[in-house]
């Protein structure tokens, strides 16, 4: 593939991404959406984040691992509990990472 083809591909993908997002934002401001749809759309970012995080917690080595040896899952569950109780994003990340690092330091095989 030539350099020109790669740059044209980058430009086309960039324009496509921009147009898709711009049209959605533009139409969202022009079209009156039902309240049930507007309420449902509030959950899209959380659902997208969960779809990215969940496989990393449950499949750390490429296969399903729900054991107590899965430190990522334990730290993620701990972080979820902190998020539920405190609703503090920074505290959730801090506690989750501290638990993950502590578990890895205490129980990881050399």
Q: What is the pLDDT of residue 110?
A: 54
- Give the pLDDT confidence of 23-51 residue by residue, as tens digits: 888 877 788 888 998 899 899 998 999 99
Q: What is the rounded average pLDDT of the residues 77-105? A: 95
Phi then psi dihedrals of residue 20, to 5 deg: -60, -45
User: Among all chains, which residue has been given the structure tokens 């086309």?
Assistant: 12
User: For 49-74, how does the pLDDT look when each residue is reduced to its tens digit (9 = 90+)?
Assistant: 999 999 999 998 889 999 999 999 99
The reported pLDDT for the residue numbered 32 is: 84
């Amino acid at each position: 593939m030539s350099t020109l083809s790669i740059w044209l591909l980058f430009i086309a993908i960039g324009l496509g991404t921009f147009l898709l997002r711009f049209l959605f934002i533009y139409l969202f401001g022009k079209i009156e959406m039902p309240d049930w749809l507007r309420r449902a759309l509030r959950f899209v970012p959380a659902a997208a984040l969960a779809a990215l995080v969940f496989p990393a917690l449950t499949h750390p080595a490429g296969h399903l691992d729900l054991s107590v040896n899965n430190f990522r899952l334990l730290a993620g569950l701990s972080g979820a509990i902190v998020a539920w109780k405190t609703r503090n994003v920074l505290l959730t990340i801090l506690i989750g990472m501290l638990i993950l690092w502590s578990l890895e330091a205490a129980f990881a095989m050399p």
